[in-house]
Amino acid sequence: MNIVKALERGRRRLSWIAEEVGESVQETHRNLSRLSRAGLVDKDGEGYYVLTAFGRYVLAVLPTLEFLCEHRSYFESHDLSRIPLKFVYRIGELSGSRRAPDTLTAIRYSEIIIEESEDYVWIIAEQVLASAAQLASRKISEGVSLRVVVPRGLKPPPGVDLASLRNVDVRLIDSVDAALVLNEERACLAFPRLDGEMDYRGFLVESKTGHEWCKDLFEYYWGRGCLV
């Protein structure tokens, strides 16, 4: 992957590639031979290594593989099969996201996202936190729009009444496949463990492409939810 990414930046001599990827010339040559046999790399008329057209297509999907490998321990114990496959194919767009070290930090991420919102807050959740409901109520009074997707049959904790929050758009879905809080700039995203229980120690998403992924995921479930 490092060789392919080096060649994305332009054609290279063997010694240049070896220096860039931090390997010996011999090992780099062996890997280039493998890539060449796979049709990903070729040599041009001047002896420079270049990516083939096929290699550039493969390069386009590498971010997904890299993201999954970077967080392998997380994805070995969490279930992505419940979200549409098209989002799994695009999950590399979350590259650069930060993992929450514990549940309290993840909750605080979500609260900060609500606090910082100036235009909108969109939420998908299995349950409503009292602190989040209080923050959302204040932001609504400041003109921030709020959309919430929750499971059918939700029973909010004591002291929380969704019906009391005016100007909140709520839609119901059969099951929550991912937990999500996002505003116009950032998002906090979490997935269920393999046993089905939601693990809120997810990801803080701050990149433009990652935010777009989260926004698309929310709109997918929002479009399939039923009005209260």
Block means of pLDDT (10 residues each) for the chain, length 228 residues? 92 95 96 96 95 92 89 95 95 95 93 95 88 82 91 75 70 94 97 95 96 98 90
pLDDT given for residue 157 in this prediction: 64
Q: How far from 171 is each of 16, 83, 175, 200, 216, CA to CA, in Å?
A: 56, 18, 12, 21, 16
Q: Give the Cβ contact number of residue 186 at 10 Å.
A: 19
**In the numeric block, which tokens belong to residue 116?**
């910082």
What residue ranges define each of the domains in the chain, with the CATH number in brackets? 2-69 (1.10.10.10), 79-227 (3.30.870.10)
